[in-house]
Structure 1
């Protein structure tokens, strides 16, 4: 399989004129995705294709032992971490499942492949402390209107950095049921409507500086802010605020979720705020869940105490 098959199917002159059955399966599979997911799966499948070529294996004839050997190749020869191996095998699982549904293969050889155990470091999910967030917001608002809006949108709305950079002034001028709202397209192309508390709306209005259209967050040259320029802004403001640890844009989103849980907002509501599709992702941010003082055994013992 050539690398051309792993390129986006745009129908342009670079699109391959012919497909082998496996080429078509891969191209059709990748066509279902976009953005970072597409790029990751494209890399995963290119590595798998190259490995199949190196061992003389037709991917359509692959069996479970072949995929187990590919996993060992990733682990031992490429030095991939368990989380990376897990993701790449998951990609193959989905590809072969699709091929099975399409009738290209009789069974999915990846269905029972042993997946490496991945232990998640939950300390990475804990964001900035409440005092650090307050200091960063105060420093940003004392800087420039754009700096204030960047930090406000990341720390108080929990926007992902690309979502914040993509906000146009027109996106937050409407109201819904009496609430001023921001309309955006989030991760995975999911549309979202986010209510704007008054201090947040004011910070965004100040950043607009009288403009009625176009990008809200601008760089010094007047062009739309990017992920990298936003990260530079956050790091500069964090140093100015006296925060000693390394701060990046997504850490502000972590702080947003952690602070919401610390404030006592129910997990389900925080899941909606963060726009997580899985509540297990939200629960990783709950640093109080390991607090023995609130362990359920005490509640149950008190409830059943009269029956003991």
Structure 2
């Protein structure tokens, strides 16, 4: 994609395969989720353009794992990395369902483990 802030308008004849996959995913969402997934996909597209790759075609699980590592090296916490991957994983899933790619490279890419602090959970609702 040419810009990291916004996906291009839907013009099927001029869209790349990656843009078609992104539009297919984003069409299912509105509001905050649509904006969040759009941002996540733009960040992925920008990262791959920076590295001279297509964001969809030829992507392997190793590429996805490198991106996950890059997010961590950029300072994101494990929970933020997991959130950042929601839109991307959905895009790959839709691209596979739509037969734009032969397999989903993110399906077995391990995400960082998020450790929860049980002392910070909600108070119990036990009866008195």
Aligned to 1:6: 7
Is this contact kept in 2: 1:82–1:118, CA < 8 A? yes
Structure 1's consecutive aligned runs of 4 or more residues displaced over 4 angstroms after TM superposition are 121-124
Q: CA deviation at 1:119?
A: 2.4
Instruction: Give me the CA root mean square deviation.
Output: 2.6
Structure 1 gaps, min length 5: 10-14, 125-283, 292-308
Larger of the two Rg values belongs to structure: 1
1:68 corresponds to 2:69 = no
Total equivalences in the alignment: 125
| Higher RCO, Cα 8 Å, sep 6+ | 2
Q: What per-residue deviation string (whole Å, max 9, x for no partner) do you get for residues 142-188 of structure 1?
A: xxxxxxxxxxxxxxxxxxxxxxxxxxxxxxxxxxxxxxxxxxxxxxx
Question: Which of 42, 51, 54 is 1:46 aligned to?
Answer: 42
| CA distance in 2 between partners of 1:122 and 1:30 (Å) | 35
| CA distance in 1 between partners of 2:100 and 2:53 (Å) | 16
| CA distance in 1 between partners of 2:94 and 2:100 (Å) | 9
Q: What per-residue deviation string (whole Å, max 9, x for no partner) do you get for residues 235-291 of structure 1?
A: xxxxxxxxxxxxxxxxxxxxxxxxxxxxxxxxxxxxxxxxxxxxxxxxx53x227x8
Name whichever structure is richer in strand by fraction: 1
CA change 1:29–1:120 in 2 (3 A) is same
Return the TM-score normalized by structure 2: 0.83
Return the TM-score normalized by structure 1: 0.37
Name whichever structure is richer in helix by fraction: 1
Structure 2 gaps, min length 5: none
